[in-house]
Amino acid sequence: MLKKTKTGQPSTAEPVLAELAQDYELPRVILEQRSLAKLKSTYTDKLPLQVNANTGRIHSTFQQAVAATGRLSSTDPNLQNIPIRTAEGRRVRQAFVSAPDMLLLAADYSQVELRIMAHLSQDPGLLKAFSSAQDVHRATAADVFGVALDEVTGEQRRSAKAINFGLIYGMSAFGLANQIGVSRGEAGETIERYFEKYPGVRTYMDETQALADEKGYVETLFGRRLYLPDIHAGNGMLRKAAQRTAINAPMQGTAADIIKRAMIDIQNWLNEGSIDARMLLQVHDELVFEVSERDLPLLVDGVRFRMVSAAALDVPLVVDIGTGKNWDEAH
DNA sequence: GAGGGGAGCGCG
DNA sequence: AAAGCGCGCTCCCCTC
């Protein structure tokens, strides 16, 4: 079946061509050309032109009042979408390097939105999955498919991961089926088993919807609101989109609140002046620093402590830290 | 030549 | 008919 865009043209979007590429040469070549053209036009050609003549560095601008959920956004250039997922793309990331005798440090929150869902829903099974497992997707798979942690197959883990992410976004059985390549019926059954295992999550979703319906807004753990004017729309498509936003915004927004609190705490600490380090970037669940080799151990400990202490949830906050001479190495 | 919208795609 | 949240940038086409 030929996929169409909303204006009626046949879609040549990446997922459509990726499927066609399994059987045909041409879509494969088109996708390869597109991805390389994207890297060249957006990053390789442009970033060198943005280097400031005085500092020799690229200076992005962070917008604080743009994203509806309370995230920051980055422009001129956007440094929150530097490639990382492919080997070719990572070569762009490798071009971001520290000064001589300095290192880059990247500190990432691990699964922060899912941890927030566990806290907000207070579901006992999900809380336990986080307190007991290194790998929450594996733990979810063991629960949903009724097997031991070390018996989880790769496919079961992939399915569980798709569910965990899908829930955060308000995904339907149809969306999950597309994502993991099973029938809509099978996807529906998998979701059903999930909610049997984690009933508190379903209750939380239902209560969030009801609250959005009643008050016309949802809010983060810290009380910042997102109003949803379309929550009562007559147009079902608009209404359903608003309902998905109602599900997602408290989790994405709470994550944004938490990292902002951490950033303020860390900057106040750095301002004391005892550590040779600077906070350079924020990428939603990640902070990037430049630090002298001498002060690296101090920065690792201080950043991790302040990030995990930025909110007291009923699951631990976990931060992964990497370092290197370039931004790719630091991951 | 400027500005807007659609399509597509980079990231979390 | 659509079906998964939040962004910003490039290319292309169109209008003024």
Give domain status of residue A53, yes or no.
Answer: no
Which residues of A in 308-327 have their CB below 7 Å from strand C's atoms?
Answer: none
Q: Which among A231, A249, A267 is the end of a domain? A: A249
List pLDDT tens digits, range A107-156.
Answer: 999 999 999 999 999 999 999 999 887 899 999 999 999 999 999 999 99
Q: Which nucleotide in the DNA or RNA is closest to residue A68, CA to C1'?
A: C6
Provide the whole-model pTM. 0.95
Phi, psi dihedrals of residue A51, rounded to the nearest 5°? -70, 125
For residue A82, the model assigns a pLDDT of 97
Query: Which contacts (CB < 8 Å, 24+ apart) does range A211-219 have?
Result: A212/A242, A212/A243, A212/A246, A218/A246, A218/A249, A218/A250, A219/A250, A219/A253
Q: Is residue A181 part of a domain?
A: yes
Dist. CA A22–CA A198, nearest whole Å: 37
Q: How confident is the model at residue A1 (pLDDT cuts 50, 70, 90)?
A: low
Amino acid A73 CA to nucleotide B7 C1' distance, rounded Å: 22
For A301, how many CA atoms within 13 A lie in the half-sphere containing its CB? Answer: 4
* A35 CB closer than 7 A to any strand B atom: yes
Expressed as residue numbers, the domain containing A198 is 133-249
Q: How many Cβ atoms from other residues are within 10 Å of residue A237's Cβ?
A: 9
CB neighbour list of residue A177: distance below 8 Å, 6 or more residues apart: A183, A184, A186, A187
From residues 230-259 of A, list those within 7 angstroms of strand C by Cβ.
Answer: 236-237, 240-241, 244-245, 248-249, 252
Domain membership of residue A233 (yes or no) is yes
Residues A140 and A238 in one domain: yes
Last residue of a domain, one of A45, A61, A78: A45
Residue closest to A144 by CA, chosen among A101, A199, A102 = A199
Number of domains in chain A: 2
Note whether residue A259 is domain-resident.
no
Measured between alpha carbons, how far is A77 from A68 in angstroms, rounded to an integer? 21
Cα separation, A120 vs A126, in Å, equals: 11
Instruction: Mention every residue, 6+ apart, whose C-beta is less than 8 A from residue A248.
Output: A69, A168, A169, A170
Please write the tens of the pLDDT for every residue from A270-305: 999 999 999 999 999 999 999 999 999 999 999 999
Is A195 inside a domain boundary? yes
